[in-house]
A and B are shown apart, each in its own frame.
Chain A
Amino acid sequence: MSANDIVKRADFIFKNENDWEEVLTKNLARTPNELINELISSELKGRGGAGFPTGLKWKLTSELKSDEKYVICNADEGEPGTFKDREILSRVPFKVLTAIALCGYVIGAKQGFIYLRGEYFFLQQELKKAISEFEFFCKEIKFDFKINIFMGSGAYICGEETALFESMEGKRGEPRNKPPYPTAYGYLGQPTVINNVETLAHTFTIFKYGAKRFYDLGVQFSRGTKLFSISGDTPKPGIYELELGMSLSDFVDDFGDDDTKAVQVGGASGFLVPRKKFSATSIGFEGKLVGISLPTGGSMMLFNSSRSMFNVLDNYLNFFAEESCGQCTPCRVGCQQLLKGIKAVKRGEKPASYLDKLLGLAETMQYTAKCGLGQSVANSFTSIVENFREEMIY
């Protein structure tokens, strides 16, 4: 930790530990219930952004009777501004593989998959090598488990868990109606645990050091550490493992360039926080933090005063209009209307009051879109338009 560090660093995920065989063997000797309870008491929540309690997810899937079950590692890291999962897979792949296998053991699955983002093709060969070494060890200890890589094809929407299943089944990557949820009806209609790469890596930490070590970090409702992908106007961009619960003003003091105008927390589908709200914002899941607490899949984008918030929003909306699967009305048409709408206001073709109509539309999208993509467009849209309205108009 250098003298300039304000936010406390942690080092679990990337710590180079060559004991995965031991962690695997030791934990396979425990009962599935013990492992589930370990996870539940750690209070680990999904690190992909949605924050579903991981222990509960495994528990629900383990309780269902089915001949086939699957574990899927979601490595379709596509949120703009997020770049941590690829580092995990290239630097500590065995932690993830061990976690996948332990999950398989807990829920009763014989097969795991890594759904690898299309653009991460360069990781495939190394990952395959790691998998064959891993499977060789499993064979040696007579643990019957296989892991396959499934390459994505570049669609953002396939990171949405049910669209991901559709994609793996050879269909168009379109989200399904929920319920049923993946725990009961996932890949090929079978009970499936799908976890983000980082979530699985944390379970390795928990299974190795015990739940308490993890639980003691972070704050209430937001336990443990989290990887942050820090980018934008910052002198030290990169990936950092930080404790959850920090205040955004501490974060900006640490990572900002002394001219930070706003921070986008959680990528394009997250929230933009303006300078005046830094001290009233904490990073973590909903709970009793200072002011509002914002969850994040780990993306933190810093913007300084040279940035036009109109351009930022325009960029996000272009992204969503293109990456919407096009299936449901609010998302497919809504994204186009928001994008074309802010342009029309900027050009004076629509009155400034049209922004209010768009804010209403964004709210409808949040209530009615089929999946997280369409539902979360309102996050960035509303937070940018409400906080930087003048920049949208003039």
Chain B
Amino acid sequence: MGKKVKITINGQPVEIDKGTSILDAAKQIGVIIPTLCYHKDLCVAGNCRVCVVEIAGQKRLAPACATPCEEGMDVLTNTHKVRNSRKHIIELLLSEHNADCTSCYKNGNCELQLLASEYKIMNQDFIHLVPFHNYTIDDYSPSIIKDDSKCIRCQRCVRTCAELQSVNALTMAHKGEYAQVTTFFEKSMNDVICTNCGQCVNHCPTGALVEKNYIEEVWAAISDKSKYVVIQTAPAVRVGLGEELGFGPGARVTGKMVAALKRLGFDAVMDTDFTADLTIMEEGSELLSRLKKALKENDRTVKFPMATSCSPGWIKFIEHLYPEFLDHLSTCKSPQQMFGALVKTYYAKARKLDPERIVSVSVMPCTAKKFEAARPEMHSSGYRDVDYVLTTRELAIMIKQAGIDFTRLEEAHFDRLMGESTGAAVIFGSTGGVMEAALRTAYELVTGREVPFDNLNITPVRGAEGIREARIKIEKPKKEWAFLDGVELKCAVAHGLVNAKYIMDKVKAGKADYHFIEFMACPGGCLGGGGQPIPTNPEIRQRRAVAIYAEDEGMPLRKSHENPEIIKIYNDFLGHPLSEVSHHLLHTKYTSRRV
């Protein structure tokens, strides 16, 4: 690059890097060009043609997203021909779209609806094409609902599934009038290799792909006086929720969120961050015990690298595609499921509640968590550990339905027993956070000293690069960890399944000499999760990440093992990490899903 070209847009001269698209060039001078199939996270498709513009001297219009600026181009974005064409294209899309907006889950957050409103498509006289197709709604998945009648074939989901996730669950099939986004042999999303990550939902401009919502079920539980409804909130929710409720991206709304949950009528509002700290205790201990077995006892059956297990999208991914490596996964349940198992045992006992009465709800930045909660093995409390999983978006809907003016709420605190957390838990919401939290605790357990990073910020594992690596040398460990003296702990972090695949292929080829790898299914980690507010893009995720790390820095305690409620639960209930009770409630096993 480096070479500049001069063009004019609507008469205004612009000097810009050669190769820049007309769309980006226009953006720089405040000219907005509408788009639909374009998405910052994805490669350019140029399918929808909504972004067409006129280039002087050319009869045909050019798609602004897919046309690079050339020296001397005279671009016009608002001529009669352009407006007329865009209007036609929007009309065409509406004609193949089930535009029953008032009964659509995405009503109010639909890019097609917005365009139709901007271009005032008042007389829709093209023939409605939906009745000519035999559309059925696929709602068999516990996480995602796919409604082809609302699909506008922009292929954002297809590109998401391929480029960000390398899963390819969704793909185009057939051609012409029958072209549609579908799955392998047109099976249900529930029956194909789909990780339920929800990135397709996050990237869909319309209501063709949405989460399966459990809003009414949760309202019913809250209204049922015989039930005791407990809610847990995941770390990334508090830096995303504000976007749905009047704040800009990156607003930290932890206290308001807690206040809102109390107003909604939950009997106890507690924090998944508590079990994130617990995860660190268990997973950190598991890592150290594996190292001990391998290095001290020469046990060759111990598997390295050890992989994190918090992200249910990642878990299903490895179960489908690399089942021979399931032994590499930490046996720890995700924080959500640890919480679920404890709420109907530890918490019920302490609060003298009949666990049968407890309805355990979680609010997650994630759609895969819905699938995780429904896994048959997640019943270690004797009941279903987590009854309902809401996404950040569903919670926002409930808050709006309840008539709560979110921006004016006073901040409130989580309830006790499972509501205390540390900065180490908050950063679980960002890629690299689990690794950083684990290192803060494990290093200190082994050496008795804090990790050798300024202000505990292990910056090498932070950032937005798809794969990051860090090495920490263990020096002067405590006596019982003497075998670790001089060992360089090699860690890696991957987010987005396309990067997970890259690392797993390296592991498979025997070319990954890491001890510990953090995997997150979604770009940016949970803060970019499939259940987070729409839209998502690198800039929004970056702002959420800044908020997460600010939240961490603002916490009085920043190391999981210092959480007083963690100390208490080990004293009162679990005994010690990896104890028998822990194993029963907090650890799990995995299933090969190779087909």
Interface string of B175-215 (1 = CB under 8 A from A): 11111100000000000000000000000000000000000
Interface string of A16-30 (1 = CB under 8 A from B): 000000000000000
Interface string of A303-340 (1 = CB under 8 A from B): 00000000000000000111111111110111111001
- Given contact pairs A179-B68, A322-B177, A326-B178, A361 touches B46 in the complex (Cβ within 8 A): no
- Given contact pairs A329-B93, A341-B127, A344-B127, A375 touches B66 in the complex (Cβ within 8 A): no
A329 to B52, CA, bound (A): 12
Q: Are A322 and B175 in contact (CB under 8 A)?
A: yes
Please tell me which stretch of B82-90, B343-351, B384-392, B516-524 contacts chain A, meaning at least 4 of its Cβ atoms lie within 8 angstroms of it: B82-90
A311 to B443, CA, bound (A): 79
B40 at the interface (CB under 8 A from A): no
Query: How many residue pairs, one in A and one in B, have C-beta atoms under 8 Å apart?
Result: 116
Q: Are A324 and B60 in contact (CB under 8 A)?
A: no
- Given contact pairs A326-B172, A368-B49, A370-B47, A337 touches B92 in the complex (Cβ within 8 A): yes
Within the complex, the shortest CB–CB distance from A163 to chain B, in Å, comes to 11
Within the complex, the shortest CB–CB distance from B169 to chain A, in Å, comes to 16
Interface range, B side: 35 or more
A335 to B127, CA, bound (A): 12
Dominant secondary structure at the B interface: loop
A172 at the interface (CB under 8 A from B): yes
A155 at the interface (CB under 8 A from B): yes
A315 to B50, CA, bound (A): 29
Within the complex, the shortest CB–CB distance from A313 to chain B, in Å, comes to 16
Chain B residue numbers with a CB within 8 Å of A326 are 153, 172, 174-180
B59 at the interface (CB under 8 A from A): yes
Within the complex, the shortest CB–CB distance from B357 to chain A, in Å, comes to 53
Q: Are B88 and A360 in contact (CB under 8 A)?
A: yes
* Most interface-central of A157, A172, A327, A340 (chain B CB within 10 A): A327
Other-chain contact of A333, B45, B85, B129 (Cβ < 8 Å): B129
Contacting B at CB under 8 A, from A366-391, are 366-370, 375
Chain A residue numbers with a CB within 8 Å of B125 are 354, 357
* Most interface-central of A341, A344, A368 (chain B CB within 10 A): A368
B451 at the interface (CB under 8 A from A): no
A31 at the interface (CB under 8 A from B): no
B81 at the interface (CB under 8 A from A): yes
Q: Are B175 and A155 in contact (CB under 8 A)?
A: yes
B44 at the interface (CB under 8 A from A): yes
Q: Are A325 and B63 in contact (CB under 8 A)?
A: no
Other-chain contact of B47, A327, A336, A361 (Cβ < 8 Å): A327
Within the complex, the shortest CB–CB distance from B73 to chain A, in Å, comes to 12
Within the complex, the shortest CB–CB distance from A286 to chain B, in Å, comes to 12
Chain B residue numbers with a CB within 8 Å of A320 are 176
B61 at the interface (CB under 8 A from A): yes
Q: Are A336 and B177 in contact (CB under 8 A)?
A: yes
Chain A residue numbers with a CB within 8 Å of B174 are 326
Within the complex, the shortest CB–CB distance from A179 to chain B, in Å, comes to 7
Q: Are A334 and B46 in contact (CB under 8 A)?
A: no
| Interface residues of A, count at CB 8 A | 37
- Given contact pairs A177-B44, A367-B52, A368-B60, A333 touches B127 in the complex (Cβ within 8 A): no
Chain B residue numbers with a CB within 8 Å of A361 are 88, 92, 126
Interface string of A271-287 (1 = CB under 8 A from B): 00000000000000000
Q: Are B49 and A332 in contact (CB under 8 A)?
A: no
* Most interface-central of B92, B175, B176 (chain A CB within 10 A): B176
B48 at the interface (CB under 8 A from A): yes
A335 to B125, CA, bound (A): 16
Q: Are A340 and B127 in contact (CB under 8 A)?
A: yes
Give the residue name and chain of the A residue nearest to B44 (CB): A177
- Given contact pairs A333-B93, A333-B95, A364 touches B88 in the complex (Cβ within 8 A): yes
A134 to B298, CA, bound (A): 65
Beyond A323-B176, A360-B84, list 8 extra A-B contacts (CB 8 Å). Answer: A326-B178, A327-B45, A327-B155, A329-B89, A329-B153, A330-B89, A336-B177, A357-B125
Q: List 19 A-B contacts (CB under 8 A).
A: A322-B176, A322-B177, A324-B176, A326-B172, A326-B176, A326-B178, A326-B179, A327-B153, A327-B155, A329-B50, A329-B153, A330-B89, A336-B129, A340-B127, A354-B125, A364-B85, A368-B60, A369-B49, A370-B46
Listed from nearest, the 7 A-B pairs whose CB atoms lie closest are A326-B179, A333-B92, A177-B66, A364-B88, A324-B176, A177-B46, A322-B176
Q: Contact residues of B with A, CB < 8 Å?
A: 44-50, 52, 59-61, 63, 66-68, 81, 84-85, 88-89, 92-93, 95-96, 125-127, 129, 132, 152-153, 155, 172, 174-180
